[in-house]
Amino acid sequence: MNDKIVLFVIFSLSIFVFYPVHAQEFTIYVEELPAWADYASNVMYTSTQAWKNANDGLEFYVSENPTNSDFRVQWVKEFGGEHVGYAYGDKFIEVGLGDSNCGNQWNPYSEVYISHIMKHEMGH
C-alpha cells in the first residue's frame, strides 16, 4: 500500500506544471530549518526561483515576522501518512523532510525531492 502511495506522489510531482500568475509580490516567512536538516538549506531559493523563471514579474521576499507575510512555511520531520507536503489555503505550507517507510527507520528526502514538494505546495 505504501509503495502505491509513494508512486502516486512521485507521479503527481513529475507532471507538475507551473501555472502562469500575474505579476505579483509575495512575502514569505520561513521557519528555520532544524540543525539536522541543513541538507535542505537551498530548498526555498530553488523553489522560488523556479516560480520566478516561469512567471515574469513574480517576486518573493523574506519576512522576519509571520504576521507580516503572505504565507508561512513550516518544516515537518515526517507526516507519517500519505502526505509529503500540505498547503492550508493560501497562507500556510508544511513540507516533509523525510519518512520511515523503509524498514521503519527514518530517512531524509533529498534536497531535489523536497524542492519538488515545495514547488508543488506553492502552486496551491
Question: Beta strands 98-99 and 107-108: pairing type?
Answer: antiparallel
Q: What is the pLDDT of residue 21?
A: 53
23 or 108, greater pLDDT: 108
E strands in the chain? 25-30, 59-62, 71-76, 85-88, 92-96, 98-99, 107-108
The region, left, alpha or beta by phi > 0 then psi within -120 to 50, assigned to residue 90 is: alpha
Q: What is the pLDDT of residues 13-37, one digit of tens each?
A: 444 444 555 568 999 999 999 999 9
Q: In the predicted model, what is the mean pLDDT of the chain?
A: 85
Query: Do residues 90 and 71 make contact, with C-beta atoms less than 8 angstroms apart?
Result: yes
Per-residue pLDDT averaged across 58-87, rounded?
A: 92
Angle, CA of 43, 45 and 51, to the nearest 5°? 100
pTM, full prediction: 0.78
